[in-house]
Structure 1
Amino acid sequence: MDLSILIVEDNFIIQMFLEEALTTLGHEVLGAVDTGADTLSFIETNTPNIIFLDIGLSGSLSGIDLAQTIKDKYQIPFVFLTGNSDRPTLERARKTDPLHIISKPIDEDKLKEEMLFITEKLRSRIV
């Protein structure tokens, strides 16, 4: 299953890594943005199959706030990326019903394994 993906990540190095790694795995990266406002503008005119969303976005919308808007208004599945694994943050994030949560740091092997899991979950939602 090849996916069209939007990356929402405010760390440029992680953003570039994800773009390259996901493309190498055969997926299409439709775009990469670094704020909640840019994300909402992007999905008004583009429809990714899935969004990779950093929980700790800077700006007026946190990743968790943005996820709730995406879920309520656009119904696009999303995967959280997080370097912050404190219990209250993760519990709040889980309430938005993410498809999956990936902990940082991420390397190519880990991403490949995570993508197998993610594509299987997406297939089961479609069927």
Structure 2
Amino acid sequence: MEQLGYEVVGTRDTYEDARRDIEFEQIDLVLADIQLSGTKSGIDVAEAAKARGIPVLFATGNPPSECAIYAVGALVKPYTDKQLKEAIQVVEKVLEGDRVDAPKGLKLYA
């Protein structure tokens, strides 16, 4: 992510660690996988982020239907760095209110 020009707050493997970042850090976007270590999932992380008004982009191999409740979209694995950057740029445009077409591999929910 940093090589793509973004500041990374942190990379977290558990819900508890991600939730702490969501509560105490200034975050513009949460990039979340569904599978995490521990008992809670990336969907739980997305729910916590949404409660604080932080948009979520899932990056997962098989996004379940409930992802749409919490996220702007889902980038389906496997993806390239270029696809990730394009997906984030599209999410930024969607959040600004623009209507855009999703690039290959990105499912938009908003």
TM range (shorter): 0.7 to 0.9
Unaligned stretches of 5+ residues in structure 2: 99-110
Q: How far apart are 1:65 and its partner, in Å?
A: 2.2
Instruction: Provide the aligned length of Structure 1 versus Structure 2.
Output: 98
* Bigger helix share: 1
Alignment of 1:48-127 (within 5 A): 48-72=27-51, 74-85=52-63, 90-96=64-70, 98-124=71-97
Give CA deviations for 1:78-115 in whole Å, capped at 9, x if unaligned: 11111124xxxx2121122x111110112122112212
Alignment of 1:29-48 (within 5 A): 29-48=8-27
Q: Tell me how far apart the structure 2 counterparts of residues 23 and 114 of structure 1 sit (CA, whole Å).
A: 15
SS in structure 1 of the partner of residue 36 of structure 2 = coil
Q: 1:69 to 1:30 in 2, by over 3 A?
A: closer
Is the 2:4–2:85 Cα contact (8 Å) retained in structure 1? yes
Given the two structures, how large is their TM-score scaled by the length of structure 2?
A: 0.77
Q: Tell me how far apart the structure 2 counterparts of residues 112 and 39 of structure 1 sit (CA, whole Å).
A: 22
Give CA deviations for 1:59-78 in whole Å, capped at 9, x if unaligned: 12111122122212x11111
Q: Aligned-pair RMSD on alpha carbons?
A: 1.7
